Amino acid sequence: MLKSIKLSDFIKIPSSPFILGALISRIMTFKENDKNYFYAYTSFRASKFVHYSQFDLVKYSKELIKKLNFYSHYDNWTEHKVEKTSVELRFYILDDVGMSKKAFYKFIYQRIVSSAWILNQSEKDMYECMRGFMELRGSVDTSLKLIAQDYFYDDSNELKKAQILTQLLNIPISYANFNARDLQPQFVNGTNKRNTQFRIKLYFYANKIGFLNDYKAKIFETAYNEHSKDIIDGITYFKVTLPNENNDVTFLKYINFFTNNIYQRQLTPQAITQLRNELKFNSDSTSSNGRNKAIIDLYDKISEDKCAICGTTQTYFSQSKGKQYFEIHHVIPYYNDNQLDNIANLVKLCPNCHRMLKKGSGTKEEQILAITKILHEHSEVYEFASSYLGIDNINELAKKIQTMLG
Ligand SMILES: [Zn+2]
């Protein structure tokens, strides 16, 4: 039998931020001798920047396992494939309760969302989670100053969770971005059909989050000729300058990701320039409050002027907005929780339908019906709400949300 922890035990005891990050990043399944396992993994290859003759990966993998165990709080990491030029280590969980992969995802996500360190916004723990999320599968780009990991278009849950997680962990929009496949020039001209990548600015990562894997730290050090560093509890932090937070390119990609992949709309370059100015994304004074307002304004701009409940596109002309008047509604009501200022938690409503959703305004039945309709027709809202509340079934989810209306 593989070295593993039983899922029934894993559920009972608290998990470290690091292993939660590793699992939410990607959950794999494996079957051996009629037993089902979930696993998280790390895999990496020798880089031309640090030749394998100068860094013994076989020897180092033993040390790395100790470190991974330490940060995971389980003595569970094991060698899957360890060679001179490539390493894969795995963390197995034996599924002794017969849980689906999707349900296990939801469980991990719930555990993150409801953890004390997210609620208290503990930076140390959030960065630990991000390290598990990003570094195990991510590779150090040796020319673009990015740490990047692949996502797969047939698993949009993973991609959306990456987006949700970034907001949850307070990673500035301009430090993290998607390089969606259909935006890459190589994809458009057919030379390279890469997967979508989720990427974080490498200098932010190297400075704030730090490298657990000494080999990746060495690649960073060599490729970018940065030698000033601190090693604390086995994590290498580089004393490098943080990148500028305001970055036009990442802002463009953020908007593109939502407009193309979720709202299926195309914006002209002129429209994007106008948006950027209107939302003051170029200003240096973007506070965390400002950012939330910006997300709501952004949603107002990029989503179609159409009520998500009754479907009307005509309300009345708003002089101040210069267009038809609509209101932005938080599907899971906003209770001073920044996590809910997520673009995937917003819909546009006409004033009548919005009023109907106020507590005590519409009947319970019509409110549930309206919420069910929203969840059916907006998959990104369903995905966000079901992950946030840990409820898969649409009808149950709508009933739960109705009880939360304010
Ligand atoms: Zn309406």
pLDDT digits (tens, 9 = 90+) for 158-167: 655 666 666 6
Identify the pLDDT of residue 182: 41
Q: How far is the CA of 371 from the centre of ligand 1 (A)?
A: 12
- Would you say residue 253 has pLDDT above 50? yes
Q: How far is the CA of 383 from the centre of ligand 1 (A)?
A: 22
Dihedral angle over CA of 164, 276, 279, 170, nearest 10: 30
Q: If you average pLDDT over residues 27-40, what whole number do you get?
A: 93
Confidence of residue 190 (pLDDT cuts 50, 70, 90): very low
Residue appearing with tokens 């997210």: 118
Identify the pLDDT of residue 88: 96
Identify the pLDDT of residue 167: 65
Cα–Cα distance measured from residue 140 to residue 215, given in angstroms and rounded to the nearest whole number: 10
Q: How far is the CA of 356 from the centre of ligand 1 (A)?
A: 9
Q: How far is the CA of 327 from the centre of ligand 1 (A)?
A: 10
What is each CA distance from 42 to 25, 80, 150, 211, 300, in whole angstroms? 11, 10, 13, 13, 40
Percent of the chain at pLDDT > 90 equals 49
Return the beta strands (E) in 100-185 as ranges. 139-140, 146-150, 176-179
- Of residues 376, 329, 335, 316, the one with CA closest to residue 357: 329
Percent of the chain at pLDDT > 70 equals 74
163-181: b (≥16 Cβ within 10 Å) or e: bbbbbbbebbbbbbbbbbb
Identify the pLDDT of residue 254: 56
Q: How far is the CA of 159 from the centre of ligand 1 (A)?
A: 30
- Would you say residue 266 has pLDDT above 50? yes
Q: For residue 160, what are its two tokens?
A: 């959306």
Q: How far is the CA of 370 from the centre of ligand 1 (A)?
A: 10
- For the ranges 101-115, 194-208, 216-230, the lowest mean pLDDT is seen at 194-208
Q: How far is the CA of 131 from the centre of ligand 1 (A)?
A: 43
Identify the pLDDT of residue 141: 85
Q: How far is the CA of 329 from the centre of ligand 1 (A)?
A: 12
Cα–Cα distance measured from residue 138 to residue 140, given in angstroms and rounded to the nearest whole number: 7
Q: How far is the CA of 320 from the centre of ligand 1 (A)?
A: 21
Q: If you average pLDDT over residues 147-160, what whole number do you get?
A: 62
Q: How far is the CA of 366 from the centre of ligand 1 (A)?
A: 13
Q: How far is the CA of 351 from the centre of ligand 1 (A)?
A: 7
Q: How far is the CA of 5 from the centre of ligand 1 (A)?
A: 50
Identify the pLDDT of residue 387: 66
- Would you say residue 20 has pLDDT above 80? yes
Q: How far is the CA of 381 from the centre of ligand 1 (A)?
A: 17
Q: How far is the CA of 254 from the centre of ligand 1 (A)?
A: 28
Identify the pLDDT of residue 263: 57
Q: How far is the CA of 307 from the centre of ligand 1 (A)?
A: 5
Contacts of residue 239, Cβ cutoff 8 Å, sequence gap at least 6:
207, 228, 229, 230
Q: How far is the CA of 109 from the centre of ligand 1 (A)?
A: 32
Q: How far is the CA of 354 from the centre of ligand 1 (A)?
A: 7
Residue appearing with tokens 């916004």: 121
- Average pLDDT of the chain to the nearest whole number: 82
Contacts of residue 19, Cβ cutoff 8 Å, sequence gap at least 6:
40, 71, 72, 73, 74, 91, 132
Return the DSSP state at 53: T
Confidence of residue 290 (pLDDT cuts 50, 70, 90): very low
Cα–Cα distance measured from residue 217 to residue 207, given in angstroms and rounded to the nearest whole number: 11
Tens digit of pLDDT for each residue in 365-402?
999 999 999 998 887 788 778 767 767 788 999 999 99
Q: How far is the CA of 373 from the centre of ligand 1 (A)?
A: 12
Identify the pLDDT of residue 164: 61
What is the end-to-end Cα distance of the chain in Å, rounded? 52
Can you say whether residue 115 is alpha, beta or left, with left for phi > 0 and alpha for psi between -120 and 50 degrees? beta
Tens digit of pLDDT for each residue in 132-142?
999 998 889 88
Q: How far is the CA of 345 from the centre of ligand 1 (A)?
A: 17
Identify the pLDDT of residue 187: 40
One-letter amino acid of 193 = K
